[in-house]
Amino acid sequence: MPVFKDTEQMYDCIGAVLDFLREDPKASTAFRKSGLVIRFKYSDPDGEITIDGSQDPISLTCGPCDSKPTVDMTMSADTAHQFWLGKLNLVAALNRGAMTAKGPIPSIMKLLPAISPAYKQYPEILRAKGLAHLI
Amino acid sequence: MHGYTGKLLEVDLSTGATRDLPLDPGLARDYIGGSGLAARLYLDRVGGAPYPAPLDPANPLIVMTGPVAGHLLPGSSRFALCARSPQTGLWGEASCGGFFAPALKAAGYDGLIVTGAASSPVYLLVENGQAELRDAAHLWGRDTYETDDALKAAHGAAARTVSIGPAGENLVCYAAAVHDKGHVAGRTGMGAVMGSKRLKAIVALGKGKPPVAAPASLKPLREDVLARQADNLTSQTFHAYGTDGAMYVGSLMGDVPFHNWRAGEWDDDAIQALDGATMAETILTSAGTCHSCSVACKREVAVEDGPYIVAKGPGPEYESVAAFGSLLLVPDLAATAAANDRCNRYGLDTISCGATLAFAIEATEAGLLDSHLAWGDAAGILQAVDEIAHRRGLGDLLAEGSAAVADRLGPAAAAFEVTVKGLEMAMHSPRTYHGLGIGYATAPRGACHNAANVYLMMGGALYPELGLEEGLPEQSSEGKALMSAVGQDYACVQNAASFCMLNSLNLSPTEMAEALAAVTGFPYTVEEIKQAGERLWQLKHGINYLLGATAADDRLPPRLLEPLEDGPTAGSVPDMALMLSEFYALRDMDVEGRPSRARLEALGLADLADQLGV
């Protein structure tokens, strides 16, 4: 049974944690410095979210967008959920294909310190939305 | 023979005699090379009890390459140094990359068997099929970098060296042998064995190249592996940031040790400060590599200002940064680079040195040891490294390793000694990866992450052909005994073949068999390399029992069986009872850890069964 009931709920939750990072001074600085345009493509439910670090301010789009991605990351929505809970073995997921990344892999790894505060924030976001049962 | 030169060099340092020995093709096929073949030669040579003590001249030091070394397959660079270990008293082996293995084969030899002890310091020169012992009095006392420079000045830039520094000369139990500069055969004290023999260095150079059986097969295989490397996260991260690129991402899993494994969390900025990405932006000057490797994970660094100046040269890997950084609560990359530089020059195992210092700091806190050491005190730690290498003051005690020091300090010290079989644990957590727990506990040389096949355990690799088709939850002990047994056997083959462990990410077992067949002409199959892997593991395990190991040695240290209260592994402890019972059953070993005769005979180890009395 997928974690999210539909694409809208997925955008609401995953989009919220990406929005937190967009507003966070440390994370947003790291994103802008990287200049990366990261497109996350999800399945089950299907959807895509793009965070564009080449713009100032950083833009976040839930759904198809015109920005040309420098990094394409593909995964199931459940995998994304586990990642933002801080429960995913990222190396295993990438090496074994549960998550695929096309683009400058070292640049993605370099963003981890900036985005890791979101692992504590994501459960709070879910609780605030009355979705504590998803934690 | 194909792949091999077909010759070993026997050196008796007591008499100065050298002699060529043929490498038996049957032995090569069954034991392949590296530490596996070395173990076979060790047992054949020492015969039976009494087994020479580690620093006894009669203890053979065996340097062994594998068949793929020197050919163009990615990661085909490794060689092994093996002997009874002065640190553990058991089977000792150290693995090293770089360029020495191809050079030794170019010089005409697959391996060296060194016995005896010279009456004064010597170095062994092996060049184009000729061997000579030369006076090394002018080199004794010099560090490994100075020694490498002097030997290259004498024999040319193409000469490849393996040397010891003051630590090996002073018989520090975890002294390393250093190849050129910065490629290190670190673990189990092989540098001290060389020091006990007054063998300052080995120099290899030549123009030979053993033919391969099916050269046309190697090029497409090489290209496939290289293509996979280009897409592999771990390979690309190591290429960009060195193995220290694992620091931050590892901390997210709870894999990185803090405060001698007492803490599950540390300051996030401190961890970032030690990460390979930070290294790339601060002290890194260039990347380096080993023979035929495009991953190029080696680092060259320089620290030009501040209290920890490091001349441009080889920089630290993950293990060294963790051992001198997070383990000791030193959030300073320059300080860890300085510690690494000292260890390289002195010839010291960075893992054992850092871990012994962590132990010493806790012993000092507990009032069991009188020392200047303190958590986070980089200057004091660097001073201690100097003292250890030269056996000065407290360094003379700490040179024995944390297990020996804990024995002397009494039972209370066992609480913070983190070793298995006397070997300090590598910087990966069995609380995070329970499979590492059984791997550390049962690896023949002690708490070794590579023998435990770390990239399998941590999720970088899967081996469907070996029966491991899907990943298992990291913080679970279910199924990990099988994973570890399979992984350890495969790691034995990788070592024997001369493949780098990083290669395991991009070369499947099927391709391993194909590569070995293409190089040697022996028609290896996956089934045969599975059997060879277990043969090599059982042989080393059996040697340990002949040297005095028991099932009681197959255990994790008490510290790693304490759950942490915080961090990603809070509450997680590997179930060693479950994993050990399953592992012994898989190995057909009794509760005392003794294998059955039937299993040993099936592996062609009837002689070992006789010696073990099973």
Decide: helix, strand or coil at residue B205: strand
Q: In what order do the strands lie in the sheet with B160-163?
A: B130-135, B122-127, B199-205, B160-163, B177-179, B183-185
Report pLDDT for B594: 95
Q: State yes or no: pLDDT of B159 exceeds 80.
A: yes
Tell me, yes or no, if A135 comes closer than 8 A to chain B by beta carbon: no
- pLDDT exceeds cutoff 80 at A52: yes
> What is the C-alpha radius of gyration for chain B, rounded to an integer number of angstroms?
22
- Write down the pLDDT at residue B185: 98
Q: Is A75 helix (H, G, I), strand (E, B) or coil?
A: strand
Burial class for A57, CB neighbours closer than 10 Å (0-12, 13-18, 19+): exposed
The predicted pLDDT at position B462 comes to: 82
Mean pLDDT across B40-56: 96
Q: Residue B41: enclosing H or E segment and its boundaries?
A: helix B34-46
* Amino acid at position B409, single letter: L
Question: Is there a contact between B458 and A91 if contact means CB atoms under 8 Å apart?
Answer: yes
pLDDT digits (tens, 9 = 90+) for B278-333: 999 999 999 999 999 989 999 999 999 999 999 999 999 999 999 999 999 999 99
Residue B502 has pLDDT above 90, yes or no: no
Q: What is the mean pLDDT of residues B326-352?
A: 98
* Helix pair angle (B480-497, B434-442), 10° resolution: 60
Instruction: For residue B459, give the nearest of A96, A116, A119 by CB distance.
Output: A96
Between strands B130-135 and B111-115, the pairing is unpaired
Does residue B327 sit in helix, strand or coil? coil
Mean pLDDT of B402-423: 97
Cα dihedral: B322, B324, B326, B330 (round 10): -150
pLDDT class of B233 with cuts at 50, 70, 90: confident
* Tokens representing residue A113 in the block: 């310190």
Q: Smallest Cβ distance to B249: which of A101, A109, A119?
A: A109
* Ranges A108-117, B233-242, B451-460, B484-493: which has the least confidence: B451-460
Q: Which two three-digit tokens encode residue B281?
A: 């932006």
CB contact under 8 A, A95 and B505: yes
Instruction: Report the half-sphere exposure of B488 (CA within 13 A, side-chain side).
Output: 34
Alpha-carbon torsion angle B189, B191, B193, B194, nearest 10: 170
Mean pLDDT on B374-389: 98
State residue A83's pLDDT score: 93
At B111, is the secondary structure helix, strand, or coil?
strand
Amino acid at position B216, single letter: A
Can you read off the two tokens belonging to residue B369? 């040891």
Strand-strand pairing, A37-43 and A71-76:
parallel
In degrees and rounded to multiples of 5, residue B286 shows phi and psi of -165, 170
φ and ψ of B101, to 5 deg: -60, -50
pLDDT of residue B16: 98
pLDDT of residue B397: 98
Cis amide prior to B50 (ω within 30 degrees): yes
Alpha carbons B440 and B451: distance in angstroms, whole number: 8
The SS3 call for residue B378 is helix
Q: What is the pLDDT of residue A110?
A: 86
pLDDT of B600 > 80? The answer is: yes
Contact at CB, B245 and A106, closer than 8 angstroms: yes
Phi, psi of B383 (to 5 degrees): -60, -40
Would you state the structure tokens that stand for residue B548, as one six-digit string?
């005095």
CA B442 to chain centre: 15
Lowest-pLDDT range, A107-121, B183-197, B368-382?
Answer: A107-121
CATH of B7-205, one of 3.40.190.10, 3.40.50.150, 3.60.9.10, 3.40.50.720: 3.60.9.10
Mind giving me the DSSP string for B251-293? Answer: HHHT-S-BTTTTBS---HHHHHHHSHHHHHHTTEEEEE--TT-
The topology (CATH level 3) of A7-127 is Nonspecific Lipid-transfer Protein; Chain A (3.30.1050)
Average pLDDT over residues B561-589: 97
Closest CA to B163 of B107, B111, B121, B110: B121
The span from the CA of A17 to the CA of B503, in Å, is 37
Distances (CA, A) of B46 to B32, B74, B116, B540: 20, 35, 13, 14
Where residue B50 falls (left for φ over 0; alpha for ψ -120 to 50; beta otherwise) is: beta
Computed over every residue of chain A, the mean pLDDT equals 92
Give the nearest chain B residue to A84 (CA atoms).
B252
**Whether the predicted interface score ipTM is above 0.85:** yes
Residue B612: pLDDT band by 50, 70, 90 thresholds? very high
CA pair distance B233, B237, nearest whole angstrom: 6
β-bridge partners, B202: B124, B162
Give the nearest chain B residue to A116 (CA atoms): B252
Q: Has residue B461 got a pLDDT over 90?
A: no
Q: Give residue B456's pLDDT.
A: 77
Per-residue pLDDT for A94 more than 80? yes
Question: What percentage of chain B carries pLDDT values higher than 90?
Answer: 93
- Helix ranges (H only) for B480-559 are 480-497, 509-520, 526-546
From A95, A96, A112, residue closest to B249, measured CB to CB: A112
Q: How far is CA A20 from CA A88, A115, A122, B596, in A?
A: 20, 10, 9, 60
Examine residue A45 and say whether the peptide bond preceding it is cis (omega within 30 degrees of 0): yes
For position B407, what pLDDT does the model report? 97
Of A24-28, B59-63, B79-83, the poorest mean pLDDT is in A24-28
Lowest-pLDDT choice from B90-94, B190-194, B305-309, B499-503: B499-503
Closest CA to A7 of A59, A38, A42: A42
Supply the pTM of this predicted model.
Answer: 0.97
Handedness of CA B412, B413, B418, B420 (dihedral sign): negative
Tell me the CA distances in angstroms from A48 to A44, A62, B608, one per residue in order.
Answer: 11, 6, 61
Contact call for B459 and A89, based on CB within 8 A: yes
| Residue at B264: amino acid letter | G
Q: Regarding the domain delimited by B242-417, which CATH topology (the fold level of the hierarchy) does it fall under?
A: 1.10.569
CB contact under 8 A, B248 and A91: no
User: What Cα–Cα distance (Å) separates residue A125 from each residue in A12, A121, A134, B332?
Assistant: 10, 6, 11, 35
**Overall average pLDDT of the B536-559 stretch:** 97
The strands making up B284-288's β-sheet, listed across from edge to edge, are B284-288, B298-303, B310-314
| Model pLDDT, residue B505 | 79
- pLDDT at site B270: 97
Domain ranges of chain B: 7-205, 242-417, 434-612
Q: Which of B295, B376, B380, B382 is nearest to B337 (CA)?
A: B382
**Cα-trace Rg, chain A:** 14
Q: Which CATH number fits domain B434-612: 1.10.10.520, 1.10.599.10, 2.60.40.1510, 2.60.120.1440?
A: 1.10.599.10
Measured CA to CA, the distance from residue A128 to residue B539 in angstroms comes to: 59
Among the partner-chain residues A86, A89, A109, the one whose CB lies closest to the CB of B277 is A109
pLDDT tens digits for B82-115? 999 999 999 999 999 999 999 999 999 999 999 9
**What's the mean pLDDT when you consider all of chain B?**
96
* H or E element in which residue B220 lies: helix B215-231
B232: pLDDT strictly greater than 90: no
Domain boundaries, chain A: 7-127
pLDDT at B457 over 80: no
Rounded mean pLDDT, B333-360: 98
Angstrom distance (rounded) from CA B464 to CA B473: 17
B610 in A contact zone (CB under 8 Å): no
State the alpha helices, DSSP H only, in A1-135: 7-23, 25-34, 77-84, 90-95, 105-110, 112-115, 118-128
Distance from CA of B392 to the nearest CA of A (A): 41
| The pLDDT value given to residue B460 | 72
Buried b (16+ CB within 10 A) or exposed e, B27-42: ebbbbbbbbbbbbbbb
Q: Is B243 on the interface with A (CB under 8 A)?
A: no
- CB–CB contact B253 A89 (8 Å): yes
Name the residue facing A96 among B236, B245, B471 (closest C-beta): B471
Question: Residue A91's pLDDT is what?
Answer: 84
Residue given tokens 């090379």 in the structure block = B33
Q: How far apart are CA B102 and CA B323, in angstroms?
A: 30
CB contacts of B277 in chain A (<8 Å) are 106, 109-110
Mean pLDDT within B196-202? 99
CB B196 within 8 A of CB B183: no
Is there a contact between A14 and A126 (Cβ–Cβ < 8 Å)?
A: no
